[in-house]
Amino acid sequence: MSQKIKTVLKIFAVLIGAVLVFAVGFIGWLTITEYKPGDVMPTYPIEDVFMANRPLSTEDSFRVLTFNIGYGNLGKESDFFMDGGKNVRNGDEKLVLKNMEGIIGVVDEADADIVFLQEVDDSSKRSFFINERQMLWENFGNEIVFAPNYVCNYVPFPWPPIGKVDSGIVTLSDYDIEKAERISLPCPFSWPVSAANLKRCLLVSYHNIEGTDKQLVTVNLHLEAYDDGEGKIAQTKMLWNILESEYEKGNYVIAGGDFNQMFPKTEEKYPIFTAELWEPGVLEENDLPEGWQYVYDENTPTCRLLNKPYDKETAQHYVIDGFIVSPNVEVVSSETLDCGFEFSDHNPVLMEINFK
């Protein structure tokens, strides 16, 4: 073997070794810095103390809104690589600010007493490091609690990489919140993928009810999306365990958010025609315990596939956002607010309820 060939092979071996050392070191760094929340953790408002809001009464009729805001970067112009699109992030900072202003306008106009929001970024590359949680605080000023569910110093995939992510779910309330907790959900991913993946959770808030020893328990959720289906099933099972446990205590219970599962019979109205791309799970009516209700509006889709910028005529639609309410809660109305997916890949759902 000539000296020239030996030199080339040596350089090649050095380069391969350097790549391997970097890869092992990078995975090690991700593992060491991985976000590892406890099973149950207290969560706090942006300020040190909750603002003094109005008390809750059994005589109250009130409105609850759920809205996955797509971190301000998944509006009508956008696509997303995990749904069959091309982009990791879309547009620029101006696009995110435009979407956030639109989202804030929608929430403000809905005039709900309690608001569940999902995919709210704090400091993430994908949303150009705009502090969306702070924007919500500044615009609404009511009690706001935040539970992180995606925290990673650097998500290394795809290309260009997602990069730094700091995101979670937010609950806004016009009523006094006694306490709020972040409850971890089962994670379907194993190491090393788990080190740079979501850590799904429930954001559970407790509202005292004036003149009673009961509480209103609200559960903000965003269940697994890109798993093989087992993750959603395990997380839904845990959700039901918590809901039924709170109801058995005599409490009123409302859960709402992005289930990433189609509500019963909605597939008939919005059939799946892109089976080779992302497909949600299915919530079955038979799985409901006696007296409990799914609350949703099948007349308007709540989500669209992000395989391309939005086109109403050709888009794949779903109904995967809505609520679950306990038997002691009366539903007055429910409506999906048709925003045309202008600011997010989801439409918000608004529900009005009474206590029985």
pLDDT of res. 49: 44
- Judged against a pLDDT cut of 70, whether residue 267 lies above it is answered with yes
**Same domain as 241, residue 112:** yes
Mean pLDDT confidence for 199-217? 95
Indicate which CATH number applies to the domain containing 168: 3.60.10.10
**Same domain as 62, residue 123:** yes
**Same domain as 180, residue 326:** yes
3-state SS, residue 261: strand
Number of domains in the chain: 2
Q: What is the pLDDT of residues 17-48, one digit of tens each?
A: 555 655 565 566 566 777 788 888 888 654 44
**Same domain as 42, residue 26:** no
pLDDT range class, residue 291, cuts 50, 70, 90: very high
The secondary structure element, H or E, covering residue 106 is helix 93-110
**Same domain as 319, residue 273:** yes
pLDDT of res. 48: 43
**Same domain as 216, residue 252:** yes
Tell me how far apart the alpha carbons of residues 272 and 116 are, in angstroms, rounded to a whole number: 27
**Same domain as 143, residue 28:** no
pLDDT range class, residue 132, cuts 50, 70, 90: very high
**Same domain as 177, residue 118:** yes
**Same domain as 347, residue 204:** yes
pLDDT range class, residue 319, cuts 50, 70, 90: very high
Q: What is the pLDDT of residues 76-112, one digit of tens each?
A: 999 999 999 999 999 999 999 999 999 999 999 999 9
Question: What is the average pLDDT value for the chain, to the nearest integer?
Answer: 90
3-state SS, residue 169: strand
User: What is the DSSP pairing of strand 201-208 with strand 215-222?
Assistant: antiparallel
**Same domain as 280, residue 160:** yes
**Same domain as 2, residue 117:** no
294 DSSP β-pair partners: 324
Supply the angle between the helices 132-140 and 93-110 in degrees, to the nearest 10: 30
Q: Which long-range contacts (CB under 8 A, 24 or more apart) does 311-318 make?
A: 312/340, 315/341, 316/270, 316/272, 316/273, 316/274, 316/277, 317/270, 318/262, 318/266, 318/270, 318/280
**Same domain as 6, residue 76:** no
Domain region containing 243: 38-355
- Output b/e per residue, 276-301; b: 16+ Cβ within 10 A: eebebbbbeeeeeeeebebbbbbeeb
Contact (Cβ atoms closer than 8 angstroms) between residue 349 and residue 283: no
